[in-house]
Chains A and B, each alone.
Chain A
Amino acid sequence: MHMDRRAGVGMDRWRSLAEATGKFDPDASREFPAGVDQPDGSLRRRDVLKLLGASVMLANAAGCSRAPRGKIVPYAVQPPEVTPGVAKHYATSMTLGGYATGLLVESHEGRPTKIEGNPDHPASLGATGLLEQASILSLYDPARAQGIFQRGQPKSWRKLVSTLTQGARPGRGLEGSHFLLEPTSSPSVGHLLGQLQGLGARIHYYAPVSQNAAWAGTRLAFGRALDPVFDLRRADVIVCLDADLLASGPFRCRYARQFADGRRVRSKADPMNRLYAVEPVLSVTGASADHRLRAKARDIRAIAAALLRETSGNVTDAPWLSALRGPLSKGQEAGEVRPWVRAVARDLLAHRGRSLVAAGEGQSDVVHALAALLNVALGNVGETVSYVVPAVLDAGSSAHTLEPLLADLDAHRVQSLVILGGNPSYTAPRDLEFSRRIQTAKATAYLGMYANETARSCEWLVPLAHYLESWGDARALDGTLSIVQPLIEPLIGGKSPTDLIQLFVGASALPSYDVLRAYWKDRDPDLDAQWSQAVQRGVAAATASRIENVAVTTAELAKRLGDAVSSSDSLELVVRADSKVYDGTFSNNAWLQELPDAMTKMTWGNAALVSPTTAARLSLTAEDVVRLSLRGESLLAPVFVMPGHADDSIALMLGYGREGDEELGHVGVNAYRLRTSRGLAFDEGLQLEKVGRTEPLATTQEHWSTENRPVALTAKLADYEKARGDLVSGQNAPRQTLYQLTPKGLNQWAMSIDLNVCTGCSVCVVACQAENNIPIVGEEGVRKNREMHWLRIDRYFSGDERDPVVDAEPMACQHCEKAPCEYVCPVGATVHSPDGLNEMVYNRCVGTRFCSNNCPYKVRRFNWFDYNEDKTEPQKMVMNPDVTVRARGVMEKCSYCVQRIREAEIHARVAGGTIPEGGVVTACQQACPSKAIVFGSLTTHAAEASEVSKLHSNERTYNVLDELGTAPRTRYMIRLRNLNPELAT
């Protein structure tokens, strides 16, 4: 130990003389003298590190300059009606074929996300049809035409205006200008069209599916074109002659509701109506019918005549009948249907004034006339059916045909042709060769949503505004004035017909809102005074058309009835607007393409529907590809063998086999190729031959028999009336159990589905998809059975395969009190809430899919891929922000619209009360036109039991798969068939 003397520590000791005398270099004795490890002069390691640290700090300090100044503005002063997170509803209307259905559209932060019915509108009564529900997806369709194009080159609006109005000065005249629109009932547009006509322009209307035959029919019967308006509430017996009253037509939601009201049998004392249907193709109405007769479309005329003959036998006070007796007796219907016709006629006669005969738009004018006369003969006019002047402009005139336009085109008299909406190049009868003939027009412009077949034939393409982006007006079938109110600014510069027409009228181009207001201010000052109220409600009060008095005219009809209808054994082709894509308007709507057709359960395409008998005769099996040839044109189509289809009749739905930007519509085959003016709805002489290959079809249900399992129960009304106690024994008795559950929630949610009222129309399926952000899986996905619909309609056939009883059963998560899915989830991602819901916790799900295996109802759906990853920005806007969008690898299922339940609970809590009866309405319940679904809480604080709890203990109620002991909260009510004893089957 060496103590440094300089430190002055310790005793002074030295080791050598040198040290003692001070000549000692203390450093030398150190092993490591100070500084020996430092290089001389140059930068030391430590210094380097010090400098490094300092420079970094300084650099940071230098970089810490202030960000450029800018201002952001909070949403502090927001529009008073917008509260982020709270949706608002706006009333508007959608038109189809010119007739309006009122809607309420839910809007989140200024964009529409969900369509509901408008309870105040006569065509809606709170419900919607398939097409209305899905129409919101078309608003956000990325395939929509993105701008104005002239022969493919983008052009501006100003260029279009200057080109089209070249030479057109105010007052100059519009000779040679032709306008082709879809049928419309809009008064304000009508006014503008009148102005155009005043200037010499010619107006034409065309739609492939229209009321033309119906108007021609009433002209035959009553001398003028009229629209029948039915009141099914007053009808005990209804006969549909190829009329899909419950699922198509301008008043389909209303009729479905009225029909359902006549079937809502809650006790044995309740009456029930009876429905007869005659049709070639199984429709929703036919499936609901108590008695259904299969007949070729062309044979229905003879059946209608026979009905009139049979019912008019006893009628003595109708002079017009005697004029027709002769012609009526000429046509003889086939022998085997005579008993049926006689029995129906007797039933109709027994319900004079309380019956109804309806003809479908796919039948000829003669059939419509016969139906009208039947109603007259039975005394139904003024009771169950009334006639009004059609709301559609120029109904029944030649303006609704293409012949005048084509004649002018061929004579080169058309200077400019403006096509406003529709798709005539695709939908016009093939023999008219529309696309070729419009090339003679000097200038052509098309106002349309997509660059489609018509756009390719025209010079200009102008993007059409969706109805959710437009102001306008329209009328319902009964004439009620409906307002069309936009919910969002045109997303891509879409224009309405008003915008385009104005250019020609010569007025300075006003926004369509101003045009609308100006028209009504002028036309109806009362309405103008009440304008905001009308817009808020969506309807103008008391604007229904006056009911017309009708008088029968027989001259024309007698002549037509005398026309020999050649009997034919050849195959018939029936073409109809598809229930989903309609006439092609909705081809690019993924929700509709993936929706299983109500009766065939087909998705993503169409097929030639054949009856089992005919298929056996022609040696056809499902998915065989055949060549269909008719009048010189042929196409290939896959076959679908359909129980309940008429023999020797092949049906092909319109709207498929598209070309152009609507890529989703390319699936299927284009039935328009076989549709000529000779057979707009049905034609004969179809040739069919197999080509020796098959094409897979994407259907969601392969097996249509219940295999005698008690799943969708039906009983005869007569048996129900005689039965004692529950129809399905043991269903409502208290259940024996080892494991007693006592749910603790204030509300106990439950659902009741009345199968007697459900028609299987599938609106609820689309509504659920829209509300809950359910993804699309595509055709390939459906073929692999991975469709994601939380709610599905199971459609069962029973009885004779050729003429089956059809039962539809909506099936979604049953929210079982003893759910089999809950105990098998390894991570506890599916749990039971205190208020009775089986809850799916998406965040916890790891995707083992054991729950799906154990669900006997198979209502759970799995995200096999990330179905949302390639959604574009506009497509994301349709999503409901109240519902989680599920990731890849998680299960999902019906949640009883838990978002709506919780929202109602929050409101109730804020208001300090409880949720009232009807306070929570699920999406499926709200959309259902028949109101077949009832949802609510089994427990209530009100004095009276809730409707759903009453229904749960109704004698018609049962559980599906009750024997498994799942104790589902969704219970069903047995369907009843009101059979005519004379036609007992």
Chain B
Amino acid sequence: MSVVVSGDAAPAPIDFLLGRPSDAALTDQLIAPVLEPPKGFAPLLILTGGGTAVLFTVIAYIATTGIGVWGNNIPVAWALGIVDFVWWIGIGHAGTFISAILLLVEQKWRTSINRFAEGMTLFAVVQAGLFPLLHLGRPWFFYWLVPYPSTMDLWPQFRSALPWDVVAVSTYLITSFLFWYLGLVPDLAVIRDRAPSLLRRRVYGVFALGWRGSARDWSHYRIAYGLLAGLATPLVISVHSIVSMDFAISQLPGWHSTIFPPFFVAGAIYSGFAMVLTLLIPARKIFHLENVVTARHFDSIAKMLMVTGWIVTYSYVIEMFVAWYSGNELERYVQLVNRPTGPYAAVFWVMIFCNCITPQVFWWKSMRTNTTVLFVAAILINIGMWTERFILIVTSEMRDFLTSSWHMYKPTYIDLTLFLGTISFFSFLFLLFLRYVPFIPVSEMKELKLELEHHAEGR
């Protein structure tokens, strides 16, 4: 817990809000990125915007020519497209975890980072949502997976996990968006009230939904925020559990495993926190937010990485143990032979290093608060989680029951361009977010400041 120093003394090194800025100063600091963006923003925006344009071109190409432009084949019918989908959705989970679960358990370190993370979630889910659509052989009929009353009296086939996915991901998108937007409303009002130009005042005014900051507004806000947090909390568990069901309900050795839901959820939170770090560390530096995002935050995030990293490591070990213990020839082959020693063994060992070895540095406090170490580790963990999905999906498909259908898989340039395109698109959206919306919640930070002051005064 934080060491609270009373009044005007120098702030202790581990705290949630360094210094004791006044409300006005805090507000100024937090909406400064919106009112006066840093230099070098436009070129970055153009770059990522260009990448987004490439993405949409590639999407058009895939939709008009066919999935054959990817490297997929029979037996490896799901490959990079689904790897990317699961990776992006997983990343999104940290945002909701921070926003919703940490709110309900009243963890103060969520306050400054929650909108940032929730924004990341939103844009990650947008990227993720592209893939199931693109992945379809006939994407223009995607709506047949949605339960709507059709004139043909046909509903989706509900025993399959894919319609569950549709429900899960769309619920996730909508809830995340609502939660994020609701939280934004008071801060948009702040910008509206301080907007330097009429245009901006009007635009922010529209999006601020007429927020007046009255007691009634705040009361409604609190209730709605709490409700949405309550709604979003189960989503953290359910969405990725359902995504894991895409694999778990099948019978492929290596997929057909009951550990998948908790395993995937842990992995999702793991990669999500890593992505939060990847985005937060540069943003903090560029926007000079060292006082609102402190070593304490990094410490907590690093501990989360440790916990989830260990759950992931445990899951690997359990899978391999149970495969051996079961005596089932096919399970043993996948877990003990094909993955560690097969054609993709290099990818497997990269995964082990990145996911299992990397977080071990966080046993040491100094490592947990060292932003360089954190940044490198976060990148490695994201790479590790991508390779994990790759190993999981591809190695099970490529060598299954009948050896006559064993075949190799090789991704194509379109696969890679698509993935990089989604990273570009994500960055583009995120940069727009950083540019136009206060990504550290102003009102919540002021509330936190008040709480910390009360706490310091012993009230």
B136 contacts A702, CB within 8 Å?
no
Residues 331-349 of B, flagged 1 when their CB comes within 8 A of A and 0 if not, give 0010000000000000000
Residue of A nearest to B144 (CB): A827
| A-chain residues with CB within 8 Å of residue B249 when the two chains form the complex | 823-824
Q: Distance (Å) between the CB of A146 and the closest chain B CB?
A: 31
B142 contacts A846, CB within 8 Å?
yes
Residue of A nearest to B256 (CB): A854
Contact pick for A862, options B74, B139, B246, CB 8 Å? B74
B138 contacts A846, CB within 8 Å?
yes
Q: Distance (Å) between the CB of A804 and the closest chain B CB?
A: 14
Q: How long is the Cα–Cα vector from A979 to B184 in the complex, in angstroms?
A: 82
B145 contacts A889, CB within 8 Å?
no
The answer to whether A706 and B66 touch (CB under 8 A), given A825-B157, A828-B157, A850-B250, is: no
Residue of B nearest to A829 (CB): B157
B162 contacts A784, CB within 8 Å?
no
Residue of B nearest to A824 (CB): B160
B407 contacts A848, CB within 8 Å?
no
Residues 379-423 of B, flagged 1 when their CB comes within 8 A of A and 0 if not, give 000000000000000000100111111111010000000000000
Query: Which of B67, B154, B160, B246 is packed against the most chain A CB atoms within 10 Å?
Result: B160
Q: How long is the Cα–Cα vector from A701 to B404 in the complex, in angstroms?
A: 6
A864 contacts B159, CB within 8 Å?
no
Q: How long is the Cα–Cα vector from A866 to B65 in the complex, in angstroms?
A: 8
Residues 296-337 of B, flagged 1 when their CB comes within 8 A of A and 0 if not, give 000000000000000000000000000000000110010000
The answer to whether A889 and B138 touch (CB under 8 A), given A825-B160, A827-B145, A861-B74, is: yes
B71 contacts A784, CB within 8 Å?
yes
| A-chain residues with CB within 8 Å of residue B161 when the two chains form the complex | 824
Q: How long is the Cα–Cα vector from A866 to B141 in the complex, in angstroms?
A: 17
Q: How long is the Cα–Cα vector from A889 to B136 in the complex, in angstroms?
A: 7
Q: How long is the Cα–Cα vector from A792 to B74 in the complex, in angstroms?
A: 13
Contact pick for A709, options B67, B71, B329, CB 8 Å? B329
| B-chain residues with CB within 8 Å of residue A847 when the two chains form the complex | 67, 136-138
Residues 44-81 of B, flagged 1 when their CB comes within 8 A of A and 0 if not, give 00000000000000000000011110011111111000
A786 contacts B68, CB within 8 Å?
yes
Q: Distance (Å) between the CB of B65 and the closest chain A CB?
A: 7
B401 contacts A826, CB within 8 Å?
no
The answer to whether A845 and B138 touch (CB under 8 A), given A707-B333, A826-B163, is: yes
A785 at the A/B interface (Cβ < 8 Å)?
Answer: yes
Contact pick for A824, options B138, B141, B250, B402, CB 8 Å? B250
A823 contacts B160, CB within 8 Å?
yes
Q: How long is the Cα–Cα vector from A903 to B82 in the complex, in angstroms?
A: 41
B402 contacts A844, CB within 8 Å?
no
Query: Which of B77, B142, B330 is packed against the most chain A CB atoms within 10 Å?
Result: B77
Q: Distance (Å) between the CB of B16 and the closest chain A CB?
A: 45
Residues 840-859 of A, flagged 1 when their CB comes within 8 A of B and 0 if not, give 00001111111011101110
| A-chain residues with CB within 8 Å of residue B67 when the two chains form the complex | 847, 862, 864, 889
Contact pick for A858, options B144, B166, B246, B405, CB 8 Å? B405
| B-chain residues with CB within 8 Å of residue A795 when the two chains form the complex | 404
A853 contacts B160, CB within 8 Å?
no
The answer to whether A858 and B402 touch (CB under 8 A), given A850-B162, A864-B67, A888-B66, is: yes
A23 at the A/B interface (Cβ < 8 Å)?
Answer: no
A617 at the A/B interface (Cβ < 8 Å)?
Answer: no
| B-chain residues with CB within 8 Å of residue A709 when the two chains form the complex | 329-330, 401-403
B197 at the A/B interface (Cβ < 8 Å)?
Answer: no
Contact pick for A845, options B137, B333, B401, CB 8 Å? B137
Q: Distance (Å) between the CB of A472 and the closest chain B CB?
A: 42
B21 at the A/B interface (Cβ < 8 Å)?
Answer: no
B230 at the A/B interface (Cβ < 8 Å)?
Answer: no
A961 at the A/B interface (Cβ < 8 Å)?
Answer: yes
| A-chain residues with CB within 8 Å of residue B32 when the two chains form the complex | none
Q: How long is the Cα–Cα vector from A828 to B73 in the complex, in angstroms?
A: 22
B251 at the A/B interface (Cβ < 8 Å)?
Answer: yes
Contact pick for B137, options A702, A704, A809, A890, CB 8 Å? A890
Q: How long is the Cα–Cα vector from A827 to B145 in the complex, in angstroms?
A: 6
Could you tell me which residues of chain A, from 589 to 614, have a CB within 8 Å of some CB in chain B?
Answer: none
| A-chain residues with CB within 8 Å of residue B76 when the two chains form the complex | 785
Residues 154-172 of B, flagged 1 when their CB comes within 8 A of A and 0 if not, give 1011011111001000000
A801 at the A/B interface (Cβ < 8 Å)?
Answer: no
Contact pick for A889, options B66, B157, B160, CB 8 Å? B66
The answer to whether A852 and B77 touch (CB under 8 A), given A827-B156, A865-B65, A889-B66, is: yes
A99 at the A/B interface (Cβ < 8 Å)?
Answer: no
The number of residues on chain A lying at the interface, defined by a beta carbon within 8 Å of a beta carbon of chain B, is: 55
Could you tell me which residues of chain A, from 353 to 373, have a CB within 8 Å of some CB in chain B?
Answer: none
Residues 767-794 of A, flagged 1 when their CB comes within 8 A of B and 0 if not, give 0000000000000010011100000101
Residues 110-124 of B, flagged 1 when their CB comes within 8 A of A and 0 if not, give 000000000000000
| A-chain residues with CB within 8 Å of residue B410 when the two chains form the complex | 784
The answer to whether A856 and B138 touch (CB under 8 A), given A849-B78, A866-B66, is: no
A858 contacts B159, CB within 8 Å?
no
Q: How long is the Cα–Cα vector from A312 to B340 in the complex, in angstroms?
A: 60
Contact pick for A888, options B137, B157, B252, B404, CB 8 Å? B137
B135 at the A/B interface (Cβ < 8 Å)?
Answer: yes
Q: Distance (Å) between the CB of A652 and the closest chain B CB?
A: 26
Q: How long is the Cα–Cα vector from A960 to B407 in the complex, in angstroms?
A: 20
B401 contacts A961, CB within 8 Å?
yes
Residues 806-829 of A, flagged 1 when their CB comes within 8 A of B and 0 if not, give 000101000000001001111110
Query: Which of B67, B142, B408 is packed against the most chain A CB atoms within 10 Å?
Result: B67
A656 at the A/B interface (Cβ < 8 Å)?
Answer: no
Q: Distance (Å) between the CB of B366 and the closest chain A CB?
A: 46
Q: Distance (Å) between the CB of A829 and the closest chain B CB?
A: 8
| A-chain residues with CB within 8 Å of residue B78 when the two chains form the complex | 849, 853
Q: Distance (Å) between the CB of B101 and the closest chain A CB?
A: 30
| A-chain residues with CB within 8 Å of residue B402 when the two chains form the complex | 709, 711, 794, 811, 856-858, 960-961
| B-chain residues with CB within 8 Å of residue A711 when the two chains form the complex | 402-403
Q: Distance (Å) between the CB of B118 and the closest chain A CB?
A: 29
Q: How long is the Cα–Cα vector from A709 to B66 in the complex, in angstroms?
A: 36
Q: How long is the Cα–Cα vector from A784 to B415 in the complex, in angstroms?
A: 15
Q: How long is the Cα–Cα vector from A83 to B72 in the complex, in angstroms?
A: 44
A852 contacts B74, CB within 8 Å?
yes
Residues 355-366 of B, flagged 1 when their CB comes within 8 A of A and 0 if not, give 000000000000
A863 at the A/B interface (Cβ < 8 Å)?
Answer: yes
Query: Which of A705, A708, A849, A887 is packed against the most chain B CB atoms within 10 Å?
Result: A849
B400 contacts A858, CB within 8 Å?
yes
A820 contacts B251, CB within 8 Å?
yes
A827 contacts B137, CB within 8 Å?
no
A796 at the A/B interface (Cβ < 8 Å)?
Answer: yes
Q: Distance (Å) between the CB of A393 and the closest chain B CB?
A: 45
Q: Distance (Å) between the CB of B243 and the closest chain A CB?
A: 13
| A-chain residues with CB within 8 Å of residue B157 when the two chains form the complex | 823, 825-828
Q: How long is the Cα–Cα vector from A424 to B432 in the complex, in angstroms?
A: 72
A76 at the A/B interface (Cβ < 8 Å)?
Answer: no
Q: How long is the Cα–Cα vector from A785 to B68 in the complex, in angstroms?
A: 11
Residues 5-43 of B, flagged 1 when their CB comes within 8 A of A and 0 if not, give 000000000000000000000000000000000000000
**Chain A to chain B contacts (Cβ below 8 Å), 14 pairs:** A702-B407, A703-B404, A703-B406, A711-B402, A823-B159, A827-B145, A845-B138, A850-B162, A853-B75, A853-B250, A854-B252, A858-B401, A863-B137, A888-B66
Which 5 interchain pairs have the tightest Cβ spacing? A847-B137, A889-B137, A864-B68, A826-B162, A794-B404
With contacts A824-B250, A826-B162, A850-B250 known, what are 13 further pairs, Cβ within 8 A?
A784-B71, A794-B404, A796-B403, A820-B251, A823-B157, A847-B136, A848-B162, A853-B252, A854-B251, A856-B401, A857-B402, A889-B67, A964-B251
Q: Which residues of B contact A (CB under 8 A)?
A: 65-68, 71-78, 135-139, 141-142, 144-145, 154, 156-157, 159-163, 166, 246, 249-252, 329-330, 333, 397, 400-408, 410
Q: Which residues of A contact B (CB under 8 A)?
A: 701-709, 711, 781, 784-786, 792, 794-796, 809, 811, 820, 823-828, 844-850, 852-854, 856-858, 860-866, 887-891, 960-961, 964
